[in-house]
Structure 1
């Protein structure tokens, strides 16, 4: 297992060294950071292809959730960590993440979409009226499941973190010194984890 991982990393480094001139040391540091699961801070003058090297390095790995963001004075915690799902705090509402993670609900929605698409393409009025009755029944199932999920999960605020730092395997925070104090303070815990 060790040799397989070492061979993969060496192959990636060889490939990247052909793409990026004079970046062998930076690439080795990135490989060490990935293998040891440590943070890597890269400081250099503008135009030295630091961000490009990181993006190319990341592209060598499959199935890796990556979050990259260029920090500015306008960067807030929501852009980095996600935002409150408003549907989760509305009385009778249910979080979108709960709806996405419930197979029975997703299957009922898929069936409703399929019936509706068939209804839209059907030309025969008699068949359309039969399909309309099936659509009403399917919509009732979706509504009932949504109400049940609302009762089970009501009052539990949730944060939408898809595509943000909490869901990422690797994170690139570019121009970190341009971030506000609030954003930097919120990153302290994430950097330690």
Structure 2
């Protein structure tokens, strides 16, 4: 089995959709694990385009996409009533081309679901069943991608629907100026996209199910569960159990046959129930799943971005430039210390050293007029 194809798909999607690396990986993981993904963010952030592109990459899939409104009807999602059947007193829908016959589904404004379609939607999402004239029909649904501009409000009766999405990501507009310009120019839009067949996808899913989960991963999950409970955050046992498939899919994408503790980081997007819990879950998961070097590199990069933003906000003042250069010098010293101590991780450390040096030079050139 050529697992390199998964890497090729991931790289191609990252080249076409700027600043969507996490969402691209999450979509692939969800598809391999046969789980569902929720994307929350403003319109125009490539949520539907990403799903449609993946559906084209997996040749042979039935893809269904729909924008839900308060006035959406069951006919739009599940098909019209069969007139022939209705003449015989049978209340049966013709599901051709609709959700019950799709492998990959994108539902925009998912929380606009009304009571007329909610129950059928919940059953299809959770059990992959659609009740047509009272008879359960097994559907081929692998993954449903839900999209919304906002979280559901309490009291709307949508808690069960929200819970059905194992992975949840917040999506925003492109942040980096150069990426924004590249997007405007259409860079990456003309490239040839890789493809796999539906049968190959099913084989990848089979191999994902076979990925080994070692004991230290289970122990780490138990620790995370305990620490989350101490903070009053209580993901269900079902959610933890389903999350194992995410870890297996993550390992397979990285061409491993065994899950590693670091794979648990993906669960920072699976173990929270409200937006208020999101940051606490992230910190607890990172503390247990991330090694010291990775944590320190993330901290330094975040601090570097804050420094660069402060210089930009100051309008390029000399005082802000001096302060920024001093802070960046301190970051470079910290990085060099990591480089000298963790020699086996130098390939991860060097790009950030270069990024800080480049940023320091840019600040010095533009605010101080000094070439360094």
TM surpasses 0.5: yes
Matches for 1:75-94 after TM superposition, within 5 Å = 75-90=72-87
SS of the equivalent of 2:65 reads: strand
Structure 2 unmatched ranges of 5 or more: 129-372
TM-superposed deviation, 1:71: 0.5
Q: In 2, distance between residues paired with 1:14 and 1:78? A: 38
Match of 1:134 in 2: none
TM-superposed deviation, 1:46: 2.4
**Contact 1:82 1:162 survives alignment (8 Å):** yes
Match of 2:12 in 1: 15
Matched, 1:179 2:113: yes
Matches for 1:152-163 after TM superposition, within 5 Å = 158-163=92-97
Matches for 1:142-157 after TM superposition, within 5 Å = none
Q: In 2, distance between residues paired with 1:55 and 1:156? A: 35
Match of 1:47 in 2: 44
TM-superposed deviation, 1:83: 2.0
Q: Residues 128-182 of structure 1, C-alpha deviation per residue, up to 9 Å, x if partnerless? A: xxxxxxxxxxxxxxxxxxxxxxxxxxx6654211001111011111111222232
RMSD: 1.6
SS of the equivalent of 1:68 reads: strand
TM-score by length of 1: 0.61
TM-superposed deviation, 1:74: 1.7
Q: Residues 58-100 of structure 1, C-alpha deviation per residue, up to 9 Å, x if partnerless? A: 2111000011101011211111111221112325xxxxxxxxx
Q: In 2, distance between residues paired with 1:9 and 1:156? A: 45
Q: In 2, distance between residues paired with 1:167 and 1:65? A: 7
Matched, 1:170 2:104: yes
Match of 1:188 in 2: 122
Q: Residues 1-55 of structure 1, C-alpha deviation per residue, up to 9 Å, x if partnerless? A: 3xx2x32221111111111100011000000000000111111222211111111
Q: Which moved more, 1:39-48 or 1:14-23?
A: 39-48
**Contact 1:27 1:57 survives alignment (8 Å):** no
Match of 2:23 in 1: 26
Runs of 4+ that moved beyond 4 A: none
Q: 1:166 to 1:60 in 2, by over 3 A?
A: same
Match of 2:33 in 1: 36
Q: 1:178 to 1:157 in 2, by over 3 A?
A: closer
Structure 1 unmatched ranges of 5 or more: 92-154
TM-score by length of 2: 0.33
TM-superposed deviation, 1:184: 2.3
